Copies of this chain bind each other. A is one copy, B any other.
Amino acid sequence: MKAAVLTIGTELLIGQVVDTNSSWLGQELNALGIEILEKRSISDSREMIMSSIDELADKVSFIFITGGLGPTKDDITKKTIADLLGIGMEFHQETFDKIEDYFKRRNIPMKEAHRLQCYMPIGAVMLANNMGTAPGMWLEYKDSIIVSMPGVPSEMKYIFNHDLKKKLQEDKAVSEIFHRTIHTAGTGETIIAETIADIESNLPKGISLAYLPGIAQVRVRVSGNSEDNEHAKKVVMDIAGQIEERISKFVFGYDGETLPMAIMKLLKERNEKVTLAESCTGGYVSNLMVSTPGISTVYDGAVTAYSYDLKEKLLGVKKKTLQEKGAVSEEVVTEMVLGGIKATGSDYCIAISGIAGPGGGTPDKPVGTVWVAYGNEKNIITKKLQLTKNREMNIKYSAAYALNAFRRLLVAQK
Protein backbone atom coordinates (compact mmCIF):
# COMPACT_ATOMS: atom_id res chain seq x y z
CA MET A 1 0.00 0.00 0.00
CA LYS A 2 1.42 3.35 -1.00
CA ALA A 3 0.60 6.56 0.81
CA ALA A 4 1.28 10.28 0.69
CA VAL A 5 1.32 12.85 3.46
CA LEU A 6 -0.07 16.30 2.65
CA THR A 7 0.42 19.07 5.20
CA ILE A 8 -1.51 22.28 4.73
CA GLY A 9 -0.52 25.71 6.03
CA THR A 10 1.32 28.71 4.62
CA GLU A 11 3.36 28.75 7.87
CA LEU A 12 5.00 25.49 6.75
CA LEU A 13 6.11 26.99 3.45
CA ILE A 14 7.58 30.18 4.84
CA GLY A 15 9.40 28.24 7.54
CA GLN A 16 7.52 29.73 10.45
CA VAL A 17 6.71 26.25 11.68
CA VAL A 18 8.88 23.16 11.23
CA ASP A 19 6.70 20.37 9.90
CA THR A 20 7.15 17.75 12.61
CA ASN A 21 3.74 16.21 11.84
CA SER A 22 4.86 14.66 8.61
CA SER A 23 7.99 13.12 10.11
CA TRP A 24 6.00 11.71 13.02
CA LEU A 25 3.40 10.34 10.61
CA GLY A 26 6.21 8.95 8.46
CA GLN A 27 7.60 7.04 11.41
CA GLU A 28 4.23 5.65 12.45
CA LEU A 29 3.09 4.71 8.95
CA ASN A 30 6.43 3.10 8.25
CA ALA A 31 6.12 1.07 11.44
CA LEU A 32 2.73 -0.14 10.21
CA GLY A 33 4.39 -1.16 6.95
CA ILE A 34 2.74 1.54 4.87
CA GLU A 35 5.15 2.90 2.29
CA ILE A 36 5.20 6.68 1.91
CA LEU A 37 5.83 7.67 -1.66
CA GLU A 38 5.90 11.39 -1.13
CA LYS A 39 5.29 14.20 1.34
CA ARG A 40 3.99 17.58 0.32
CA SER A 41 3.36 20.87 2.04
CA ILE A 42 1.15 23.49 0.44
CA SER A 43 -0.44 26.78 1.44
CA ASP A 44 -4.01 27.24 2.73
CA SER A 45 -5.17 27.82 -0.82
CA ARG A 46 -8.34 26.24 -2.14
CA GLU A 47 -6.82 25.72 -5.55
CA MET A 48 -3.63 24.09 -4.24
CA ILE A 49 -5.56 21.81 -1.86
CA MET A 50 -7.82 20.62 -4.67
CA SER A 51 -5.08 20.06 -7.25
CA SER A 52 -2.74 18.34 -4.78
CA ILE A 53 -5.36 15.87 -3.52
CA ASP A 54 -6.37 15.21 -7.08
CA GLU A 55 -2.78 14.54 -8.21
CA LEU A 56 -1.96 12.38 -5.20
CA ALA A 57 -5.12 10.31 -5.52
CA ASP A 58 -3.80 9.11 -8.88
CA LYS A 59 -0.51 8.00 -7.33
CA VAL A 60 -1.33 6.48 -3.95
CA SER A 61 -4.03 4.57 -2.06
CA PHE A 62 -3.93 6.72 1.08
CA ILE A 63 -3.60 10.48 1.49
CA PHE A 64 -2.98 11.64 5.06
CA ILE A 65 -3.75 15.35 5.37
CA THR A 66 -3.02 17.59 8.35
CA GLY A 67 -4.01 21.20 8.93
CA GLY A 68 -6.77 23.62 8.15
CA LEU A 69 -9.48 22.10 10.36
CA GLY A 70 -9.51 24.77 13.07
CA PRO A 71 -12.30 27.22 13.85
CA THR A 72 -10.83 30.26 12.10
CA LYS A 73 -11.35 31.59 8.60
CA ASP A 74 -8.07 30.39 7.17
CA ASP A 75 -9.11 26.82 8.02
CA ILE A 76 -10.64 25.79 4.71
CA THR A 77 -9.58 22.15 4.32
CA LYS A 78 -12.93 20.58 5.24
CA LYS A 79 -15.07 22.66 2.91
CA THR A 80 -12.54 22.32 0.08
CA ILE A 81 -12.47 18.52 0.35
CA ALA A 82 -16.28 18.43 0.36
CA ASP A 83 -16.33 20.56 -2.79
CA LEU A 84 -13.68 18.43 -4.53
CA LEU A 85 -15.69 15.32 -3.75
CA GLY A 86 -18.90 17.06 -4.80
CA ILE A 87 -20.69 16.41 -1.52
CA GLY A 88 -22.55 18.75 0.83
CA MET A 89 -22.03 19.44 4.53
CA GLU A 90 -24.32 18.49 7.42
CA PHE A 91 -24.48 19.34 11.10
CA HIS A 92 -22.92 16.59 13.20
CA GLN A 93 -24.70 16.49 16.57
CA GLU A 94 -22.31 14.01 18.17
CA THR A 95 -19.33 16.29 17.51
CA PHE A 96 -21.27 19.23 18.91
CA ASP A 97 -22.08 17.32 22.10
CA LYS A 98 -18.43 16.37 22.53
CA ILE A 99 -17.20 19.94 22.10
CA GLU A 100 -19.86 21.23 24.47
CA ASP A 101 -18.77 18.71 27.09
CA TYR A 102 -15.07 19.48 26.49
CA PHE A 103 -15.67 23.18 27.10
CA LYS A 104 -17.89 22.64 30.13
CA ARG A 105 -15.19 20.62 31.84
CA ARG A 106 -12.67 23.39 31.18
CA ASN A 107 -15.12 26.12 32.11
CA ILE A 108 -14.67 27.95 28.79
CA PRO A 109 -17.69 29.58 27.12
CA MET A 110 -18.63 27.98 23.79
CA LYS A 111 -18.49 30.27 20.76
CA GLU A 112 -20.42 30.42 17.50
CA ALA A 113 -17.19 29.46 15.67
CA HIS A 114 -17.21 26.16 17.53
CA ARG A 115 -20.80 25.43 16.48
CA LEU A 116 -19.87 26.07 12.85
CA GLN A 117 -16.99 23.59 13.24
CA CYS A 118 -19.61 20.84 13.63
CA TYR A 119 -20.64 20.89 9.97
CA MET A 120 -19.03 17.88 8.29
CA PRO A 121 -18.87 16.51 4.73
CA ILE A 122 -21.81 14.13 4.26
CA GLY A 123 -20.70 10.51 4.51
CA ALA A 124 -17.35 11.22 6.19
CA VAL A 125 -16.43 8.78 8.96
CA MET A 126 -15.45 10.75 12.08
CA LEU A 127 -12.20 9.93 13.93
CA ALA A 128 -12.38 10.92 17.60
CA ASN A 129 -10.14 13.74 18.86
CA ASN A 130 -10.09 13.94 22.66
CA MET A 131 -7.33 16.59 22.68
CA GLY A 132 -9.25 19.33 20.88
CA THR A 133 -12.42 20.31 19.12
CA ALA A 134 -11.93 19.15 15.50
CA PRO A 135 -12.38 15.42 14.83
CA GLY A 136 -10.50 13.69 12.03
CA MET A 137 -12.28 12.51 8.90
CA TRP A 138 -12.02 9.40 6.70
CA LEU A 139 -13.37 9.79 3.17
CA GLU A 140 -13.20 7.96 -0.13
CA TYR A 141 -12.15 9.65 -3.38
CA LYS A 142 -11.46 7.96 -6.71
CA ASP A 143 -9.77 4.72 -5.60
CA SER A 144 -8.10 6.31 -2.59
CA ILE A 145 -8.81 7.00 1.05
CA ILE A 146 -8.44 10.58 2.25
CA VAL A 147 -7.74 11.06 5.94
CA SER A 148 -7.97 14.65 7.18
CA MET A 149 -6.67 15.62 10.63
CA PRO A 150 -5.98 18.87 12.53
CA GLY A 151 -2.49 20.36 12.32
CA VAL A 152 -1.95 20.67 16.10
CA PRO A 153 0.49 17.81 16.77
CA SER A 154 -1.10 16.55 19.99
CA GLU A 155 -4.54 16.35 18.33
CA MET A 156 -3.23 14.68 15.18
CA LYS A 157 -1.32 12.14 17.27
CA TYR A 158 -4.36 11.37 19.40
CA ILE A 159 -6.50 10.70 16.33
CA PHE A 160 -3.80 8.58 14.74
CA ASN A 161 -3.14 6.49 17.84
CA HIS A 162 -6.80 5.72 18.43
CA ASP A 163 -9.48 5.53 15.72
CA LEU A 164 -7.18 5.88 12.72
CA LYS A 165 -4.73 3.13 13.62
CA LYS A 166 -7.64 0.80 14.28
CA LYS A 167 -9.20 1.56 10.91
CA LEU A 168 -5.89 1.16 9.06
CA GLN A 169 -5.32 -2.22 10.65
CA GLU A 170 -8.83 -3.32 9.76
CA ASP A 171 -8.18 -2.13 6.23
CA LYS A 172 -5.02 -4.27 6.11
CA ALA A 173 -3.08 -1.40 4.56
CA VAL A 174 0.08 -3.27 5.43
CA SER A 175 3.09 -4.08 3.24
CA GLU A 176 6.38 -5.69 4.16
CA ILE A 177 9.24 -3.24 4.76
CA PHE A 178 11.70 -3.87 7.53
CA HIS A 179 14.48 -1.47 8.59
CA ARG A 180 17.46 -1.82 10.87
CA THR A 181 19.37 1.35 11.68
CA ILE A 182 22.87 1.28 13.16
CA HIS A 183 23.85 4.45 15.03
CA THR A 184 27.50 5.46 14.96
CA ALA A 185 29.48 8.37 16.34
CA GLY A 186 33.10 9.37 16.01
CA THR A 187 33.70 8.87 12.29
CA GLY A 188 32.46 10.04 8.88
CA GLU A 189 30.16 8.70 6.18
CA THR A 190 33.01 8.13 3.69
CA ILE A 191 35.13 6.07 6.08
CA ILE A 192 32.17 3.85 6.92
CA ALA A 193 31.23 3.49 3.24
CA GLU A 194 34.78 2.46 2.41
CA THR A 195 34.98 -0.01 5.28
CA ILE A 196 31.82 -1.80 4.15
CA ALA A 197 32.17 -1.26 0.38
CA ASP A 198 32.17 -4.96 -0.46
CA ILE A 199 29.05 -5.62 1.61
CA GLU A 200 27.29 -2.75 -0.14
CA SER A 201 28.31 -4.00 -3.59
CA ASN A 202 26.91 -7.46 -2.92
CA LEU A 203 23.56 -6.66 -1.34
CA PRO A 204 20.90 -9.30 -2.06
CA LYS A 205 17.91 -8.29 -4.21
CA GLY A 206 15.33 -6.23 -2.32
CA ILE A 207 17.84 -5.05 0.29
CA SER A 208 19.04 -1.44 0.30
CA LEU A 209 21.53 0.57 2.31
CA ALA A 210 21.45 4.27 3.21
CA TYR A 211 23.76 6.63 5.09
CA LEU A 212 22.16 9.33 7.21
CA PRO A 213 24.83 11.79 8.30
CA GLY A 214 23.95 13.89 11.35
CA ILE A 215 25.93 16.19 13.61
CA ALA A 216 28.90 14.15 14.83
CA GLN A 217 26.89 11.02 14.07
CA VAL A 218 26.19 8.81 11.06
CA ARG A 219 23.35 6.33 10.88
CA VAL A 220 23.54 3.37 8.53
CA ARG A 221 20.13 1.99 7.59
CA VAL A 222 19.55 -1.43 6.06
CA SER A 223 16.08 -1.95 4.55
CA GLY A 224 14.42 -5.03 3.17
CA ASN A 225 11.27 -5.39 1.14
CA SER A 226 9.91 -8.84 0.52
CA GLU A 227 6.62 -10.66 0.24
CA ASP A 228 7.68 -12.76 3.18
CA ASN A 229 8.25 -10.39 6.08
CA GLU A 230 10.04 -12.90 8.29
CA HIS A 231 12.51 -13.60 5.52
CA ALA A 232 13.17 -9.87 4.89
CA LYS A 233 13.76 -9.36 8.59
CA LYS A 234 16.26 -12.21 8.75
CA VAL A 235 18.25 -10.98 5.75
CA VAL A 236 18.27 -7.36 7.01
CA MET A 237 19.46 -8.39 10.48
CA ASP A 238 22.15 -10.57 8.94
CA ILE A 239 23.53 -7.77 6.75
CA ALA A 240 23.31 -5.32 9.66
CA GLY A 241 25.29 -7.79 11.77
CA GLN A 242 28.02 -8.01 9.13
CA ILE A 243 28.23 -4.22 8.93
CA GLU A 244 28.36 -3.83 12.69
CA GLU A 245 31.25 -6.26 12.96
CA ARG A 246 33.34 -4.00 10.71
CA ILE A 247 32.59 -0.71 12.45
CA SER A 248 31.87 -1.92 15.98
CA LYS A 249 33.99 0.67 17.77
CA PHE A 250 31.80 3.48 16.40
CA VAL A 251 28.44 1.81 17.06
CA PHE A 252 26.46 3.04 20.07
CA GLY A 253 22.96 1.77 19.38
CA TYR A 254 20.19 0.67 17.02
CA ASP A 255 16.90 2.01 15.67
CA GLY A 256 15.41 4.44 18.23
CA GLU A 257 18.43 4.39 20.58
CA THR A 258 20.26 7.59 21.50
CA LEU A 259 23.59 8.43 23.13
CA PRO A 260 21.94 9.17 26.51
CA MET A 261 20.26 5.74 26.36
CA ALA A 262 23.61 4.05 25.68
CA ILE A 263 25.15 5.91 28.63
CA MET A 264 22.18 5.05 30.85
CA LYS A 265 22.59 1.34 30.07
CA LEU A 266 26.32 1.39 30.89
CA LEU A 267 25.92 3.35 34.13
CA LYS A 268 23.01 1.23 35.34
CA GLU A 269 25.14 -1.91 35.07
CA ARG A 270 27.67 -0.40 37.46
CA ASN A 271 25.16 1.45 39.64
CA GLU A 272 26.83 4.81 39.05
CA LYS A 273 25.63 8.33 38.23
CA VAL A 274 26.73 11.19 36.01
CA THR A 275 26.14 14.93 36.20
CA LEU A 276 26.83 17.82 33.83
CA ALA A 277 28.56 21.16 34.18
CA GLU A 278 27.46 23.10 31.13
CA SER A 279 28.56 26.53 30.04
CA CYS A 280 28.13 27.26 26.32
CA THR A 281 25.67 24.40 25.78
CA GLY A 282 23.45 26.02 28.43
CA GLY A 283 21.18 23.11 29.41
CA TYR A 284 21.08 21.48 25.98
CA VAL A 285 22.85 18.32 27.12
CA SER A 286 20.76 18.14 30.30
CA ASN A 287 17.63 18.36 28.17
CA LEU A 288 18.90 15.48 26.01
CA MET A 289 19.45 13.40 29.14
CA VAL A 290 16.03 14.20 30.61
CA SER A 291 14.29 13.35 27.33
CA THR A 292 15.28 9.75 28.04
CA PRO A 293 12.68 7.75 30.01
CA GLY A 294 14.23 6.12 33.06
CA ILE A 295 17.24 8.45 33.16
CA SER A 296 16.62 9.33 36.83
CA THR A 297 18.33 6.06 37.82
CA VAL A 298 21.67 7.46 36.62
CA TYR A 299 21.10 11.23 36.51
CA ASP A 300 20.10 13.51 39.40
CA GLY A 301 20.46 16.85 37.70
CA ALA A 302 23.14 19.35 36.75
CA VAL A 303 24.46 22.85 36.79
CA THR A 304 24.40 25.37 33.97
CA ALA A 305 27.10 27.91 34.76
CA TYR A 306 27.01 30.43 31.95
CA SER A 307 28.89 33.28 33.65
CA TYR A 308 32.28 33.41 35.41
CA ASP A 309 30.42 34.20 38.61
CA LEU A 310 28.32 31.01 38.58
CA LYS A 311 31.31 28.88 37.65
CA GLU A 312 32.80 30.03 40.95
CA LYS A 313 29.59 29.95 43.01
CA LEU A 314 28.06 26.69 41.83
CA LEU A 315 31.10 24.72 40.69
CA GLY A 316 33.90 26.09 42.84
CA VAL A 317 36.09 27.03 39.87
CA LYS A 318 38.89 29.24 41.21
CA LYS A 319 38.79 32.94 40.36
CA LYS A 320 42.51 32.76 39.65
CA THR A 321 42.07 30.01 37.07
CA LEU A 322 39.31 31.95 35.34
CA GLN A 323 41.35 35.15 35.27
CA GLU A 324 44.58 33.54 34.14
CA LYS A 325 43.30 30.91 31.72
CA GLY A 326 39.86 32.21 30.74
CA ALA A 327 36.57 30.32 30.94
CA VAL A 328 37.33 28.41 27.74
CA SER A 329 40.40 26.49 28.86
CA GLU A 330 41.54 23.01 29.78
CA GLU A 331 42.10 24.10 33.37
CA VAL A 332 38.59 25.51 33.81
CA VAL A 333 36.74 22.50 32.33
CA THR A 334 38.85 20.25 34.56
CA GLU A 335 37.83 22.25 37.63
CA MET A 336 34.23 22.19 36.39
CA VAL A 337 34.27 18.38 36.36
CA LEU A 338 35.60 18.25 39.93
CA GLY A 339 33.16 20.95 41.05
CA GLY A 340 30.20 19.20 39.40
CA ILE A 341 31.01 15.93 41.18
CA LYS A 342 31.42 17.73 44.49
CA ALA A 343 28.20 19.75 44.17
CA THR A 344 25.99 16.81 43.18
CA GLY A 345 27.66 13.75 44.68
CA SER A 346 27.65 12.01 41.28
CA ASP A 347 30.39 9.55 40.28
CA TYR A 348 31.18 11.26 36.97
CA CYS A 349 30.78 14.68 35.42
CA ILE A 350 30.89 15.97 31.84
CA ALA A 351 31.90 19.64 31.47
CA ILE A 352 31.67 21.79 28.34
CA SER A 353 32.89 25.37 27.99
CA GLY A 354 33.34 27.12 24.67
CA ILE A 355 32.73 30.06 22.42
CA ALA A 356 29.59 28.99 20.59
CA GLY A 357 29.35 32.23 18.63
CA PRO A 358 28.33 34.18 16.69
CA GLY A 359 30.26 36.75 18.83
CA GLY A 360 32.89 36.42 21.55
CA GLY A 361 35.88 35.11 19.62
CA THR A 362 39.46 36.35 20.08
CA PRO A 363 42.57 35.74 17.93
CA ASP A 364 43.83 32.87 20.09
CA LYS A 365 40.35 31.54 20.91
CA PRO A 366 38.24 31.99 17.79
CA VAL A 367 34.50 31.28 17.65
CA GLY A 368 34.08 27.50 17.62
CA THR A 369 36.74 26.80 20.26
CA VAL A 370 35.24 24.37 22.78
CA TRP A 371 36.88 22.55 25.69
CA VAL A 372 35.33 19.31 26.88
CA ALA A 373 36.31 17.37 30.00
CA TYR A 374 34.84 14.20 31.47
CA GLY A 375 35.66 11.59 34.07
CA ASN A 376 35.70 11.09 37.81
CA GLU A 377 37.88 12.38 40.63
CA LYS A 378 40.70 9.99 39.71
CA ASN A 379 40.76 10.28 35.95
CA ILE A 380 39.74 13.29 33.86
CA ILE A 381 40.11 13.34 30.07
CA THR A 382 40.14 16.67 28.24
CA LYS A 383 39.73 17.54 24.58
CA LYS A 384 39.80 20.77 22.60
CA LEU A 385 37.41 21.02 19.66
CA GLN A 386 37.80 23.54 16.87
CA LEU A 387 34.33 23.86 15.38
CA THR A 388 32.43 26.21 13.09
CA LYS A 389 31.11 29.76 13.24
CA ASN A 390 27.55 28.49 13.62
CA ARG A 391 26.18 28.65 17.18
CA GLU A 392 23.55 25.92 16.89
CA MET A 393 25.94 23.56 15.13
CA ASN A 394 28.66 24.12 17.74
CA ILE A 395 26.28 23.39 20.61
CA LYS A 396 24.93 20.22 19.01
CA TYR A 397 28.35 18.99 17.94
CA SER A 398 29.90 19.61 21.37
CA ALA A 399 27.01 17.79 23.04
CA ALA A 400 27.25 14.75 20.74
CA TYR A 401 31.03 14.69 20.99
CA ALA A 402 31.04 14.88 24.80
CA LEU A 403 28.34 12.23 25.27
CA ASN A 404 30.05 9.83 22.87
CA ALA A 405 33.51 10.38 24.36
CA PHE A 406 32.13 9.71 27.83
CA ARG A 407 30.37 6.58 26.53
CA ARG A 408 33.66 5.32 25.10
CA LEU A 409 35.39 5.92 28.43
CA LEU A 410 32.76 3.74 30.14
CA VAL A 411 33.10 1.05 27.46
CA ALA A 412 36.92 1.10 27.78
CA GLN A 413 36.67 0.58 31.54
CA LYS A 414 34.57 -2.58 31.11
Q: Which residues of A contact B (CB under 8 A)?
A: 9-20, 22-28, 30, 36-44, 48, 52, 70-74, 108, 111, 113-114, 131, 152, 154, 157, 179, 181, 188-191, 193-194, 200, 208-214, 219, 221, 223, 278-287, 289-291, 293, 296, 299-307, 309-310, 313-314, 343-345, 358-359, 388, 390-393
Q: Do most interface residues of chain A lie in helix, strand or loop, or is the interface mixed?
A: mixed
- In chain B, what residue has the closest Cβ to A275? B310
A181: B residues at CB distance < 8 A: 16
Contact for A304 among B9, B17, B152, B283, CB less than 8 A: B283
Given A48-B38, A283-B283, A113–B73 Cβ distance below 8 Å?
A: no
In the complex, the 6 A-B pairs of residues with the closest C-beta atoms, listed nearest first: A282-B290, A283-B286, A15-B27, A15-B26, A283-B283, A300-B307
- Give the contacting residue for A212; candidates B17, B293, B306; CB below 8 A: B17
Q: Please state if B287 and A71 are interface contacts (CB–CB under 8 Å).
A: no
Q: How far is the CA of A293 from the CA of B395 in the complex (A)?
A: 13
| Chain B residue with Cβ nearest A314 | B343
Chain B residues near A314: list those with CB within 8 A: 301, 303, 314, 343-344
How far does the Cβ of A139 sit from chain B's closest Cβ, in whole Å? 22
**Inside 8 A of A42's CB, which chain B residues have their CB?**
37-39
With A73-B200, A213-B152, A286-B304: A221-B16 Cβ-Cβ less than 8 Å: yes
B residues in contact with A113, CB < 8 Å: 190, 193-194
Query: Is B282 a contact of A209 with CB atoms below 8 Å?
Result: no
Tally of this chain's copies: 2
A291 to B304, CA, bound (A): 13
Residues of B within 8 A of A391 (CB): 293
The CA of A161 and the CA of B70, in the complex, are separated in Å by 36
**Are B13 and A26 touching (Cβ within 8 A)?**
yes
Do A304 and B307 form a contact, CB below 8 Å, given A70-B213, A111-B194? Answer: no
Q: Which residues of B contact A12 (CB under 8 A)?
A: 23, 26, 39
Q: CB-nearest residue of chain B relative to A256?
A: B16
Residues in chain B near residue A52, CB distance under 8 A: 38
Chain B residue with the shortest CB-CB distance to A255: B16
- Tell me the nearest residue of chain B to A357, going by C-beta: B293
Q: If A12-B23, A219-B16, A221-B11 touch, does A303 touch B301 (CB 8 Å cutoff)? A: yes
Q: Measured between alpha carbons, how far is A280 from B283 in the docked complex, in Å?
A: 13
Please give, as numbers and ranges, the residues of chain B lying within 8 Å of A39 by CB-CB distance.
12-13, 19, 40-42
B189 contacts A72, CB within 8 Å? yes
Q: Name the distance in Å between A127's Cβ and chain B's nearest Cβ.
A: 18
Find out whether the CB atom of B283 lies under 8 angstroms from the CB atom of A290: yes
B189 and A10 within 8 A (CB) = no
